Amino acid sequence: MSVTLNSIAKQGKNGAAMMPIIQGVGRAAIEIAAVLRGAIFRGVLGKAGAENVQGEQQQLLDVLSDEIFLEEMRSTGFVCAVGSEEQEELLVIDEYTRSDYLVLVDPLDGSSNLDVDGPVGTIFSVVKRKTANSERPHVSDTLQSGQDVIAAGYVLYGPALMLVCSVGAGVSGYTFNPSNARFELSHPDIQIPETGGYYSVNESNADKWLDNMDANLERLKQETGLGMRYVGAMVADMHRTLLKGGIFLYPADDKNTTGKLRLLYEAIPMGFIMEQAGGKAMSRNDAVLNIEPETLHQRVPVYLGSKNAVDILFDN
Ligand code: AHG
Ligand code: MN
Ligand code: MN
């Protein structure tokens, strides 16, 4: 008998409470995967014609994925609000304002890959509300550091559909089995290799990087001889880094002076997974998980990978 997503319930002290939400993520993943596969036939490839709150062009699939994810979180009954990269304000789920949990989501990560049939993903994390259940959930409930994250993970829409997640007791990877329509545990207890792997970064920005990262990366390359891979979708680049080792980075540059990746939707969930897998997650000189968020859509520099590679980059 294969092990399915239900096995999350037995992990750590939060597994049972998180299972319905992670199952909801699994349902959203299956629906989003189906929409992605048929997108060209439904005419939903391309721009939505609007900009999101970050001033980025929304793709129709960003909007559809956001709707699907929100609907699945609503249907769990355990989520009182969702903060999404695609929504300016916190979305309160009116039927369940008394529920305990808030979910933060990047519904479709790497959307510039859509036009070229490249891999994309979904990234999520779960926190417990700070306001009383009798109150309406508030954006301040989402502004919690990575130390308060209860569960996080990502979906990778690649040749296989994968859900990688953690409830704070290690990292488990599940692969969707089309023959029984279930996510089955395919990668138990993922640990990032300590050596080897790749460095993964948009190196075309090197001459604009802040924090001396150009020189630091050259030193890392010389000391480790790491090869290079870059997909341009954080989920795909993170997944390879997790399984093969090395480092994924998106430094600040003179255009994005505080970095490009979003603290709540990308850096914290991926930092949580990376640390749970025995790796290291830095942002400038702070650990990603120690940053106290100030705003919903805040951006930060990100350095995730094998301890050794991150330490060499920071010259520790
Ligand atoms: P999103 O599609 O959710 O806006 O995220 C895109 C992010 C991330 O997936 C990736 O690591 C990075 O942007 C790639 O940026 P560049 O194109 O600047 O390399
Ligand atoms: Mn993203
Ligand atoms: Mn996105």
Q: Structurally, what CATH architecture does the domain formed by 198-313 represent?
A: 3-Layer(aba) Sandwich (3.40)
Angle at 245 between CA 239 and CA 247, to 5 degrees: 80
> What is the rounded CA–CA span in Å between residue 165 and residue 19?
11
| Residue 77, strand partner residues | none
Q: Name the residue with the closest Cα to ligand 1, atom 6.
A: 110
Phi, psi angle pair for 208, to nearest 5°: -105, -5
> Which of 60, 199, 202, when mutated, tests ligand 1's pocket best, judged by the most ligand atoms within 8 Å of its CB?
202
pLDDT for 302:
98
Q: How far is the CA of 105 from the centre of ligand 3 (A)?
A: 8
> What is the rounded CA–CA span in Å between residue 167 and residue 184?
17
> What is the rounded CA–CA span in Å between residue 123 and residue 34?
17
Residue 264 has pLDDT above 70, yes or no: yes
pLDDT for 123:
99
DSSP for 236-282 reads HHHHHHHHH-EEEEE--BSSSTT-SEEIIIIIHHHHHHHHHTT-EEE
Looking at residues 258-283, what average pLDDT do you find? Answer: 98
Looking at residues 153-182, what average pLDDT do you find? Answer: 98
Ligand 1 atom at minimum distance from 111 CA: 2
Identity of residue 44: V
Looking at residues 41-60, what average pLDDT do you find? Answer: 82
How many other C-beta atoms lie within 10 A of the C-beta of residue 178? 10
Give percent above pLDDT 70 in the chain.
100
Residue 236 has pLDDT above 90, yes or no: yes
Q: What is the mean pLDDT of the chain?
A: 96
Angle at 84 between CA 258 and CA 161, to 5 degrees: 105
Output the pTM of the full model. 0.97
The set of protein residues with a Cβ atom below 6 angstroms from ligand 1 is: 56, 85, 106, 109-112, 202, 232-234, 250, 260
Residue 54 has pLDDT above 80, yes or no: no
pLDDT for 255:
95
Worst-scoring range by mean pLDDT, 18-22, 48-52, 285-289?
Answer: 48-52
Phi, psi angle pair for 155, to nearest 5°: -110, 135
Looking at residues 20-36, what average pLDDT do you find? Answer: 98
Residue 83's alpha-carbon distances to 25, 138, 266, in angstroms, are 15, 10, 12
Q: Structurally, what CATH architecture does the domain formed by 5-187 represent?
A: 2-Layer Sandwich (3.30)
> Which of 47, 108, 124, 261, when mutated, tests ligand 1's pocket best, judged by the most ligand atoms within 8 Å of its CB?
261
> Which of 51, 266, 270, 299, when mutated, tests ligand 1's pocket best, judged by the most ligand atoms within 8 Å of its CB?
266
Q: Name the residue with the closest Cα to ligand 1, atom 11.
A: 234
- Asked whether this chain's domains 5-187 and 198-313 adopt the same fold, the reply is no
pLDDT band, residue 1 (cuts 50/70/90): low
Q: Give domain limits for the chain.
A: 5-187, 198-313
Q: Name the residue with the closest Cα to ligand 1, atom 18.
A: 202
Angle at 280 between CA 159 and CA 15, to 5 degrees: 65
pLDDT for 50:
77
> What is the rounded CA–CA span in Å between residue 123 and residue 121?
7
Question: Residue 216 has which token pair?
Answer: 């630091």
How many other C-beta atoms lie within 10 A of the C-beta of residue 279? 28
Residues in the chain: 316
Question: Residue 24 has which token pair?
Answer: 């909801």
Contact predicate 175/190, CB 8 Å: no
Q: How far is the CA of 132 from the centre of ligand 2 (A)?
A: 31
pLDDT for 26:
98
Looking at residues 39-60, what average pLDDT do you find? Answer: 83
pLDDT, tens only, 57-108: 788 999 999 999 999 999 999 999 999 999 999 999 999 999 999 999 999 9
